[in-house]
Structure 1
């Protein structure tokens, strides 16, 4: 009986050890971000306590052998005020990777963001307000990413049953993104194209793709510079021009300056050329605890002064993992 009990104990210990080995490759993490916001529109101002994308998540990866690794991630946004949904989905994907690159299926940042928008998306909050066809996390996609020396490539296909052809039948491919980057000395150059039927001017499903170009990572002393340009043909919505945007971003030690200018080229009417300028600073105040501060000036380029805004943010962030 003692021998049998010992054998059972050893088996249980082995099972627990194997379980712990698997768990060691996964993790639970979170970030709570709450702060003050001062908003001034046309001389009317208010100050509120609000959340700034607090989240928690689970991720892990496992060595599958033969040079392959399986991985997955769930991440959920958590609201800290208001009456809307308290928990929302941010990331939900599964994938495999190896020497050949990686394949991801699900919702996350995909090709166009990773190569074009992301390298210049440095503000904690004040970004994307005057950027052409800004795309963050997107769902129902499959993405390949790989690197070959100084060159990196990516491709995304959207399969979400959202598009139809001329006879109102569903398309097999609902959107795509393609991009490549190369490390040219101190600067990383990226070129990408995105076609998701999201025309910047009026949401025309027959709009032309957005093409973007970025130059980022150029370091001179304490400065790190980045510049981006994107354009999209406006003819699909009856306009005669081409919508375009310029993004300028510079990081200065723990601070940053971020500027966006959008020209929708719709004939110079209200809202044709909004701009946004964000100044920010990040301060470490202790272990796993950070404060960040931003001042954003947004000009909507309309005749309504209420559309313009000056926003000041001071946010406390605590992380665990």
Structure 2
């Protein structure tokens, strides 16, 4: 009898994982660089975090529910490797919520199957994913990344494209992928005498085609600012890239209308670049220019420009070394901290050398 009980217990221990079939993975990025030069006209030298990709620590997992359905989750926290502290997000979503910065890069749970994936939580909007059309692959030193973030756009590989309280759909069908997001913002209940709970809603969609050397995509996003203004920020982007073998040409054009809810504050941004393979490395060259209309506290319109040249070298499958130079010309903008200023913004001229490790 005792032998039978032991056998049943062992069988139970062996068979338990078969039913759950769960998998949890710890992953992350450790990226640090040494920079020196001028940052917006001010001398700078020191160690920075996230030159090619933001340093982060994440947990992701999935459980097989049967019939092709899986439960999935992601918890991801950004950190500054130069200080060891959590990376403070700068989007309005984070400013409106109390608490620590834990898992502010991503935090969601969802279901996926042959239909795609549906998830709930803090998630990337479709406008975060524009690396296919950027010769710097959406690195923080990319001209597209620098100028889109500077101009207040949400189609950008930065915190403005991470949205709280959101539901997303992502699906890939052969060469075509679809994505959509709806965010309730930070206000989910009406308050007497206050703004409506829908006044800070956000939504976006994307449609992409990826087949062999050709990649083409379109993105649309909208952000309501009716709690501070009576305008909705509307944006769209068209991007493409083609791998000719000896080089990859990439570029995009995007527009933002009534940016930050400010009427007639419009931004047009275009960028183009090339990736040239050299042995186990790549040379990346990109140029971007924005047309920023005069609005709000701005004393004049401006056409800021940015240029980056970099070399990335694969030291292994997970480790990449890089060196580069970035210049940003703010076209004599006279806005400081969102307020009119008599001083013109200084240019950025930065040299850097760094190391990126993925685990």
**Paired residue for 2:117?**
102
Distance 1:72 1:145 in 2: 14
**Paired residue for 1:227?**
251
Distance 1:32 1:298 in 2: 26
Distance 2:225 2:286 in 1: 24
Distance 1:50 1:262 in 2: 26
Distance 1:198 1:118 in 2: 30
Alignment pair present for 1:129 and 2:130: no
Structure 1 residues 189 and 212: alpha-carbon distance in aligned structure 2, compared to 1, 3 A threshold: same
Structure 1 residues 12 and 138: alpha-carbon distance in aligned structure 2, compared to 1, 3 A threshold: same
Which residues of structure 1 form unaligned runs of 5+? none
Contact 1:78 1:88 in 2 (8 A): no
- Cα deviation for residue 76 of structure 1 reads 1.2
- Cα deviation for residue 77 of structure 1 reads 1.5
Q: Which deviates the most, 286-295 or 245-254?
A: 286-295
Contact 1:41 1:305 in 2 (8 A): no
**Paired residue for 1:40?**
38
Please give the TM-score of this superposition, normalised by the length of structure 1. 0.81
Q: Which deviates the most, 145-154 or 59-68?
A: 145-154
- Cα deviation for residue 155 of structure 1 reads 1.4
Alignment pair present for 1:169 and 2:196: yes
Distance 2:311 2:37 in 1: 18
- Give the 3-state SS of the residue equivalent to 1:14 in structure 2: helix
Q: Describe how 1:155-304 pairs up with structure 2 within 5 A.
A: 155-162=180-187, 168-171=195-198, 174-183=201-210, 186-197=213-224, 204=229, 206-216=231-241, 218-234=242-258, 237-239=262-264, 242-253=266-277, 254-266=282-294, 269=299, 272-286=302-316, 288-302=318-332
Alignment pair present for 1:6 and 2:16: no
Q: How many matched pairs?
A: 312
Which residues of structure 2 form unaligned runs of 5+? 88-100, 334-342
The answer to which structure has the higher strand fraction is: 1
Please give the TM-score of this superposition, normalised by the length of structure 2. 0.74
- Cα deviation for residue 189 of structure 1 reads 2.3
Give the 4+ runs in structure 1 shifted more than 6 A. Answer: 163-167
- Cα deviation for residue 263 of structure 1 reads 0.6
